[in-house]
Structure 1
Amino acid sequence: MVWNGDNGCKVKNGRKQYTVNIEKRTCSCRSFQLTGLPCPHGCAAIWHMAGEPDDYLDQFYHKETYEKAYAYPLQPINGTHESVKFGIEPVLSPIDKKMLGRPKKNRRKPKDEPKEKKGLNNLVGLG
């Protein structure tokens, strides 16, 4: 790992390298931004700063957020038998089309072309 300033570093993993910015909570692998959880590269940078990865979790993963989300009781809803119909027809699945196969290797002979006779007389020079 190579430290590149106050808030970031470059983490090498084999031939690959990732840029981590701890203040912005970003990593070039994009896992830190997408999940809100520190990726392995982010954890390495956080540990290098003598920090704890749990302090860099997104607010979504905190217990307080969970408690706020479920603070109110959820009321049951009516079933599908009481749903309002809007008169829109359901979407049908697409029509199956027969896929064309691979083209024939031999050329297509016209109907008026004589058929080729098989046998010894057909060889070159014996005709």
Structure 2
Amino acid sequence: MKVINECTGPLTPIGERLLQANISSASQYTASWNGVSKYQVKGPWHDQHVVDMGQMTCSYRKWELTSMPCKHAIATINEMADNSKKVGELYTYVHKVYWLETWKSMYSFTFNPIKGSSM
């Protein structure tokens, strides 16, 4: 509980580290609007992926697998913000499993001791 009580911010320490790493990588990518809610994201190694903000998916698949916006999604969110679209806070795109609030609620319960393994 000591670690939980010392934490600040909306995300757990691990969630914050993962998000910051993706933010750092996203600065190397450029997103271009490709119609309705889709963006084509190009990277420094001539790699490119499609981000669908309506479905909250990326062809890279990391966003779907980790529930954390990947570098392509973050580049897209940055592009949307630059074009005056309402995107909200970045952490709102992160699954609730990485939220500090969820972490605190999971460890708020206590277990009463029992007399032995037969109990």
Pairwise TM-score range, normalised by the shorter structure = 0.5 to 0.7
TM-score of the aligned structures, taking structure 1 as reference length: 0.54
Query: What do you get for the CA RMSD once the two structures are aligned?
Result: 2.3
Report the 3-state secondary structure (helix = DSSP H, G, I; strand = E; otherwise coil) of the residue aligned with 1:49.
Answer: helix
Distance 1:36 1:44 in 2: 16
Identify unmatched segments of 5+ residues in structure 1.
84-127
Partner of residue 70 from structure 2, selected from 29, 33, 39: 39
Partner of 1:5: 35
Q: How many residues are aligned here?
A: 81
Report the 3-state secondary structure (helix = DSSP H, G, I; strand = E; otherwise coil) of the residue aligned with 2:42.
Answer: strand
CA displacement at 1:15 relative to structure 2: 2.0
For 1:6, the aligned partner's letter is V
Report the 3-state secondary structure (helix = DSSP H, G, I; strand = E; otherwise coil) of the residue aligned with 1:24.
Answer: coil
Identify unmatched segments of 5+ residues in structure 2.
1-30, 82-86
- Runs (4 or more) in structure 1 with deviation over 4 Å come to 75-79
CA displacement at 1:12 relative to structure 2: 1.0
Note closer, same or farther for the CA distance 1:17–1:71 as it changes in structure 2 (3 Å cut).
same
Larger radius of gyration: 1
**Structure 1 or 2: larger helix share?**
2
For 1:39, the aligned partner's letter is C
CA-to-aligned-CA distance 1:52-73 (integer Å, 9 cap, x gap): 4212011111222212211211
Distance 1:5 1:35 in 2: 26
Distance 2:38 2:108 in 1: 38
Report the 3-state secondary structure (helix = DSSP H, G, I; strand = E; otherwise coil) of the residue aligned with 2:69.
Answer: coil
Report the 3-state secondary structure (helix = DSSP H, G, I; strand = E; otherwise coil) of the residue aligned with 1:43.
Answer: helix
Distance 1:66 1:34 in 2: 20
Partner of 1:56: 93
Structure number with the bigger relative contact order (C-alpha 8 A, sep ≥ 6) is: 2
TM-score of the aligned structures, taking structure 2 as reference length: 0.57
- TM alignment of 1:12-91, pairs within 5 A: 12-13=42-43, 14-50=45-81, 51=87, 52-75=89-112
CA displacement at 1:76 relative to structure 2: 5.6
